[in-house]
Amino acid sequence: MSRIGKKAIEVPSGVTVTVDGQAVKAKGPKGELSFVVSDLCAVALDGNSLSITPVEDSKPARSMWGMSRTQIANMVAGVANEFSKTLHLVGVGYRAQMKGNALNLALGFSHDINYPMPDGIKIVTTKPTEIIISGIDRQKVGQTAAEIRAFRPPEPYKGKGVKYSDEYIFRKEGKKK
C-alpha cells in the first residue's frame, strides 16, 4: 500500500480544482496547471478534499497511485504559492546577471554562458553570486536549477562551482608533499 497515495489532498482557499475524467486542473492566484492521471488510478473530489485510488491491485497501479497524488499535490501547492530554488556561485570571478530574457553566467570559462529563461520560470539575481529561480511548476523549477548547476558543479577540493543554497559539499584533502 502506498503511504503517500493514501493521504487526501487538501485544497487551500483561493484555489479551485476541477476533475474531468482523468484530467485534473488547478487554478489559483499564481496561475493555472493541469495533469492527466493514468488510467490505473481514479480521482475523486469531495468538497475541499481530493483523493486518488488505484483501479486494480498491481505493481504499476500502485506506482502510479503515489506518483499521481504527489504530482497533483505539487500542482495545487504551486498555484497557491510559488516554488523557488536558490543557487550560490562560489569562486573568484564567478558571477551571474540577467541580460534581457537570458541569464548571463561567468563561470571561469573562456566565454560567458547565456541561459535563456524557460516559459513559466522567473529568474532573479539579487547579488552577483546568488540566483533565485521561482515558478508554479515544481518540476520546471527543479529542472532549470539543475541545468544551471550542471554548467559548473561544485568540486570537492576548493568547493568552487554552482551549488544549491542548502547543499553541503563534502571537502577532500589535497595532495601532500
36-68 residue pLDDT tens: 998 898 998 888 899 899 988 888 888 889 899
Alpha-carbon distance 102 to 51, whole Å? 40
In the predicted structure, residue 21 carries a pLDDT above the cut 60 = yes
Q: Look over the chain and give the mean of its residue pLDDT values, rounded to a whole number.
A: 91
In the predicted structure, residue 151 carries a pLDDT above the cut 90 = yes
The cell numbers describing 45, all together, are 473530489
The cell numbers describing 159, all together, are 568547493
Q: Which fold has domain 3-80?
A: Outer Surface Protein A; domain 3 (3.90.930)
Other beta carbons within 10 angstroms of residue 123's beta carbon come to 21
Supply the pLDDT for residue 175: 87
Alpha-carbon distance 30 to 125, whole Å? 21
Q: What angle do CA 128, 129, 134 make, to 5 degrees?
A: 90
Alpha-carbon distance 163 to 169, whole Å? 8
The cell numbers describing 121, all together, are 520560470
CATH of domain 83-164: 3.90.930.12
CATH 3.90.930.12 in the chain, residue ranges: 3-80, 83-164
Other beta carbons within 10 angstroms of residue 155's beta carbon come to 14
